[in-house]
Structure 1
Amino acid sequence: MREVWIDGSFDELRNAVAEALDGGAAVLPLAPGSSALRDAMSPSEPVESGTAVIIATSGSTGEPKGVLLSADALRASATATHRRLGGAGHWLLATPAQYIGGLQVIVRSLVAGTTCVPLPPGPFRPERFAEAAALVGGSPRYTALVPTQLTRLFDAGGAGLEAARSFDAVIIGAAATSGALRERAAEAGVRIIPSYGMSETASGCVYDGVPLDGVRAEIAGDGRVLLSGPVLAHGYRLRPDLTAETFVDGWFRTGDRGRLVDGRLEVLGRMDDVINTGGVKVSAAAIERVLAGCPGVRDSCVVGLPDPEWGEIVAAAVIPEGDAPAVPDLRAAVRATAGAAAVPKRVEFVDALPLRGPGKIDRAGVLKMFNQLS
């Protein structure tokens, strides 16, 4: 196993991935400060056969796990992505490469034999994005962002937004793309492609609801999203039990609920995002979708808080867009669409929501935030 720390040379990581794709040592990309996650990967133990890359993640549960990806899975994802986008292109790496979304940008450029320009180290800023984008030559030109990054480009305007407009496609991943963000992109002239996938599928494998070539999506009896195809990982690092539970008969059992509408996949939320309030089960994601459509709401996170009377109450942390909307209006919108049980009994306006990984809302962090605001 070859450990590559992301604070080092980009060329070192790119060369290591290239060698792994050609049968060399498996690569474990790591971020500065992730020594505990690194130790959880047991780097001294032999690497599982057929592994080219190990993506170390704590996932939504906080339990460390290493996703095992073969060279074939990584190549299949890269090739299918370029086919969907309209051809092999040159890439701007704008998300951390220890996560699959960033690492797959590198893989795509390697498989296609095209250039890959990384953002300089440091926080994401629109002006830095614009400077790096100017270095991406050739055509077509692609990049991949998380919703938070795209929102910052829209808010800042100027050179960063112009740079976003210059790309033939901007893949949006890691978190759901709201309707409001889609509208802003359309108004700004930025061609975004929302994607759905995870480390276990070698990055996004469903683009704007449509699976990539070779990928299949089905819905299990309990509403769980199932995925299959050549992009799947072959298991988890030193966890045969978890591998057997999650990868079943060629299908990856995701932790998400969804539905198929006219052949397009709609992800409805996490299997575990259900809030039981007064004996009625409501979906946190469904409430968030209602709030996202309300004027004055930029983003939100809905969680269940323990309550002696109701068991759980619905609580919403809301980032306002400008002046905060009236709480009664938000509650009325939820009541009209999702029913009385889904109405948030507690609403808090916040400047930002805690994030984990490459841009996903940290629900455990939101719960902690509510406790601190009590």
Structure 2
Amino acid sequence: MEFPLTVKDFLDRAVTVYPERVAVVDEPDQPAPSLGTLTYRDVDRLARSQAIALDDMGIPVGARVAVLSQNSARLLISFFGVSCWGRVLVPVNFRLARPEVDYILEQSGAELVFVDPELAHLVSSEMSERTVVFGENDDDIWNRTGEPNPWAADESAAATVNYTSGTTSKPKGVVLTHRNLWLNATTFGWHVGVNDDDVYLHTLPMFHANGWGMPYATSAMGVKQVVLRKVDGAEILRRIDTHRVTLLCAAPTVLSAVLDAAQDWEGVVPGRDRVRAVVAGAPPPTRLIERIRDELGWEFIQIYGLTETSPLLTVNRMRAEWCDKPRDEQARLLGRQGAPALGVRLRTDASGEVLAQANQCMAGYWEMEEETAAAQEGGWFHSGDGGLIEDGYLTIIDRKKDVIVSGGENVSSIEVEDVLLSHPSVREAAVIGIPDQTWGELVMALVVADNAAGEGELMRHCRERLAGYKCPKRIEFRENLERTATGKLQKFLLREPFWAGRTKQVN
């Protein structure tokens, strides 16, 4: 017998086994009224109410419903309220600028957008009739009774479309099916040991590859989920202390902020010998791994993946065989991106690009057939990352795609170049990632421009058109940029001086 695997399974188990257990502690400090403390029975009721509201608004099965919000209980509930009854959730990066948001809403064909009050200005007036602001008219969305219209569950149906920066100037919508998300969440949860004694802190933005699948995995196990709206190292420590947090996911830069805050913490740092920190987004330095383990006393777990893979491909966690090794050697071993997760096949091609086969690899890019075919050529997903596989463990050593990872966020260098080149004084532009101790990589622009354009002017130009994390942090003016005979930028030559002496070309 076979039954479709859908994300509703996670909510159904939560409300069946743990109905009165605390499910969510909402962010108390937010512009929409906080939902406070919710049980899993409450989450189930609110998700059903949201689905009924979508029924009554005429939003059909298969329609895209966007959510633009920082971490919040309403966003968390939407993972279930939208997708469990057949619609497609489009979680939008809240750090984007208005033109970028406009593009995603238009390209996805979103029929409705839920938005946090603080971000309502990012939604264009053309969408005003199809916009619901969190905290306004809450009764219409969250207090309905009855049952949503039934959905003939299909595990191959799209559950979410998640937009990611790639090698083109516009983000691509990654179509993830119910089967993709189900297998990612269960495999991820199994590898990191999610259990019903855990307390999970949402430090990771939920829009980011659906919180790496943790909203699903933790719900199925009745885990208490603590919502953190904005990242702050000291506040992370306070929440860990208050709620007895045992598990969190974060980019290396977030844990760097925690380490900084720990220097001023009075008494024993919270979570020692209790917290498991799952890290991804950029390869962490060995010294950072050592500090997480020694100064915080947390377990360090590294994973690797992409939005296109839901995201889990590899896991690197401390092994019994390494216990007798020196601490610095353990950190070096943990610094690799990891061994394939259950059900994942990895290899590298002749150029060193990492290729993957896994049940959690995307169905494709939304309405981009050529890009989908290229990414899935030969029956393997092409990651765009260069790596080595030794003793079964993957190490990322270079980035084949034209993507910069800064603070765990992907930045398309071509997108930034397009904005720079839209300034009338800029004749040529090349955007590269350079190593940075805090952010992993900084976005740097190398520019050939008329004298009329100064650094400050170009910085302002970018800030008006791009999310802050995409804007160049440094601009260097050049007389010319290295190109091939056919006119293609030789970015490896432009990057070379900044990465000289390093064994890896990612940071």
Query: Residue 173 of structure 1 contacts residue 196 of structure 1 at CA under 8 Å; is this kept in 2?
Result: yes
Q: TM-score, normalised by structure 1?
A: 0.69
Query: Residue 20 of structure 1 contacts residue 71 of structure 1 at CA under 8 Å; is this kept in 2?
Result: no
**Runs of 5+ in structure 1 lacking a partner?**
275-283, 319-330, 343-359, 362-374
Q: 1:42 aligns with which of 109, 112, 137?
A: 109
Deviations 1:12-46 (A, max 9, x none): 3222212455342111112445333332323259x
Alignment of 1:194-343 (within 5 A): 194-208=302-316, 209-272=338-401, 312-314=493-495, 334=501
Q: 2:84 aligns with which of 22, 38, 62?
A: 22
1:223 is matched by which residue type in structure 2?
G
Alignment RMSD (CA, Å): 3.6
Corresponding residue of 2:65: 2
User: Which moves more between the two structures, 228-237 or 177-186?
Assistant: 177-186
Change (3 A) 1:135 1:4: farther
> C-alpha separation between the residues in 2 aligned to 1:317 and 1:165?
37
Structure 1 position 70 matched with structure 2 position 177: yes
> C-alpha separation between the residues in 1 aligned to 2:304 and 2:65?
29
Report how far residue 236 of structure 1 moved: 0.7
Indicate the SS of the match to 1:83: helix
> C-alpha separation between the residues in 1 aligned to 2:210 and 2:270?
20
> C-alpha separation between the residues in 2 aligned to 1:255 and 1:164?
36
> C-alpha separation between the residues in 2 aligned to 1:2 and 1:162?
41
Q: Count how many residue pairs are aligned between Structure 1 and Structure 2.
A: 302
Change (3 A) 1:298 1:22: closer
Alignment of 1:103-182 (within 5 A): 104-119=213-228, 121-122=229-230, 124-134=231-241, 136=243, 141-157=246-262, 158-159=264-265, 162-163=269-270, 165=272, 167-182=274-289
Deviations 1:167-200 (A, max 9, x none): 4311111111111211212322221112111111
Relative contact order: is structure 1 or structure 2 higher (C-alpha 8 Å, sep ≥ 6)?
2
Query: Residue 51 of structure 1 contacts residue 71 of structure 1 at CA under 8 Å; is this kept in 2?
Result: yes
2:224 is matched by which residue type in structure 1?
T
Q: 2:298 aligns with which of 190, 193, 197?
A: 190
Query: Residue 248 of structure 2 contacts residue 276 of structure 2 at CA under 8 Å; is this kept in 1?
Result: yes
> C-alpha separation between the residues in 1 aligned to 2:439 and 2:233?
19
Change (3 A) 1:308 1:66: closer
Corresponding residue of 1:57: 164
Corresponding residue of 1:12: 74
Indicate the SS of the match to 1:52: strand
Query: Residue 29 of structure 1 contacts residue 98 of structure 1 at CA under 8 Å; is this kept in 2?
Result: yes
Indicate the SS of the match to 1:162: coil
Indicate the SS of the match to 2:249: strand
Q: TM-score, normalised by structure 2?
A: 0.52
Query: Residue 77 of structure 1 contacts residue 202 of structure 1 at CA under 8 Å; is this kept in 2?
Result: yes
- Select the structure of larger CA radius of gyration: 2
**Of Structure 1 and Structure 2, which has the larger fraction of its residues in strand?**
1
> C-alpha separation between the residues in 2 aligned to 1:242 and 1:163?
46
User: Which moves more between the two structures, 230-239 or 246-255?
Assistant: 246-255
Change (3 A) 1:245 1:117: same
1:39 is matched by which residue type in structure 2?
E
Query: Residue 219 of structure 1 contacts residue 259 of structure 1 at CA under 8 Å; is this kept in 2?
Result: yes
Report how far residue 132 of structure 1 moved: 2.9
Query: Residue 232 of structure 1 contacts residue 252 of structure 1 at CA under 8 Å; is this kept in 2?
Result: yes
> C-alpha separation between the residues in 2 aligned to 1:30 and 1:314?
31
Change (3 A) 1:299 1:203: closer
Deviations 1:257-316 (A, max 9, x none): 111101111111101579xxxxxxxxx99x96xx98xxxx99566989677697644466
Report how far residue 252 of structure 1 moved: 0.8
> C-alpha separation between the residues in 2 aligned to 1:232 and 1:163?
36
Corresponding residue of 2:121: none
Query: Residue 65 of structure 2 contacts residue 111 of structure 2 at CA under 8 Å; is this kept in 1?
Result: no
1:69 is matched by which residue type in structure 2?
L
**Runs of 5+ in structure 2 lacking a partner?**
1-63, 113-154, 317-337, 404-431, 447-477, 484-492
User: Which moves more between the two structures, 199-208 or 151-160?
Assistant: 151-160
Change (3 A) 1:109 1:298: closer
1:104 is matched by which residue type in structure 2?
G
> C-alpha separation between the residues in 1 aligned to 2:161 and 2:395?
28
Deviations 1:98-141 (A, max 9, x none): 1116252212223333222110x33x212221233345468xx3
Indicate the SS of the match to 1:181: helix
Change (3 A) 1:315 1:23: same
> C-alpha separation between the residues in 2 aligned to 1:185 and 1:145?
12
Deviations 1:216-267 (A, max 9, x none): 1111122110111111111111111111111235421111011110111111
Query: Residue 156 of structure 2 contacts residue 178 of structure 2 at CA under 8 Å; is this kept in 1?
Result: no
